[in-house]
Amino acid sequence: MTRNTRSGLTGTAMIVAVFTAVMTAPFAGAQDPAQDSMKATVTDAVYGAFTVAVETDLPAPPAEVFDALTGDISGWWDHSFMDRPARFFIEAKPGGGFWEYFDDAGTEGVRHGVVTAVWRNKKLVYQGQLGFLGTGAGLTITYDLAPSEKGTLLKVTAAYAGQEEDGWRAALASVWEHFILTRFTPYIEAGCHKTAPCTAFAPPEEN
């Protein structure tokens, strides 16, 4: 270890001393009485962890189900920050994004998650906040696909960890039941992943 011959402090000790001096010295702004009332707000957060799982047996082979779960998912995924996103898709590759683009150029929008693992037609894993934007929360979503007599058994697991508030567990369970049982299942059953327009969902009522 090097030694500073002028001060008698080792290099490491000097770094610690300088860091301590900087962190304990009063900030320049604190010397202004006008800023005394400007305080940072600190709020305690409750943290928790839980898992939600949903299963469905679908009348389509795993390859078709996998393709419907990825790529353009705007045909069945109906929760978004924008009423009509320009593009809404999942890139089925390691490091790929779960993207919601507000404009055609993709200069505004949200990356809901990042794909961390792909076994095509078998498994997809992605991580992100998925609606909890701005909170200390994270989700790991796993799609497991297996051949079944009907076609494909799909199991979706949402593992949550982070900041938690009352009602979030029930809300997350309800959301994934909606996505998989109310939206994706009839989407596949009606063959909407192969033909357009989709007849699985009733058109919105006109005002």
Q: What is the set of domains in the chain, with CATH numbers?
A: 47-190 (3.30.530.20)
pLDDT-derived band at 134, boundaries 50, 70, 90: confident
**What pLDDT sits at residue 161?**
94
Residue 133 has what pLDDT?
A: 75
Q: State pLDDT tens for residues 173-198.
A: 999 999 999 999 999 999 999 987 78
Grade residue 93 by pLDDT with cuts at 50, 70 and 90.
Answer: very high
Q: Does the N-terminal peptide bond of residue 33 adopt cis geometry, omega within 30 degrees of 0?
A: no
Q: What is the pTM of this model?
A: 0.77
Rounded Cα–Cα distance for residues 9 and 128 (Å): 46
Buried residues in 67-103 as b, exposed as e (16+ CB within 10 A): bbbbeebebbbeebeeeebeebbbbbeeebbbbbbbe
pLDDT band at 97 (very low <50, low <70, confident <90, very high): very high
The tokens describing 141, both together, are 């979503």
Spatial separation of the C-alpha atoms in residues 106 and 87, rounded to whole Å = 8
pLDDT for residue 96 is more than 60: yes
E strands along 59-163, which residues? 71-72, 87-90, 97-101, 109-119, 123-128, 137-147, 152-163
If one compares 179 and 39, the residue with the highest pLDDT of the two is 179
Q: What is the mean predicted confidence (pLDDT) over 9-36?
A: 49
| Tokens matching residue 143 | 């799609």
For residue 168, what are its two tokens? 């979030």
Measure the CA angle with vertex 104, ends 84 and 90; round to 5°. 70
**Sheet harboring 47-58: ordered strands across?**
47-58, 152-163, 137-147, 123-128, 109-119, 97-101, 87-90, 71-72
Query: What pLDDT score does 142 carry?
Result: 98
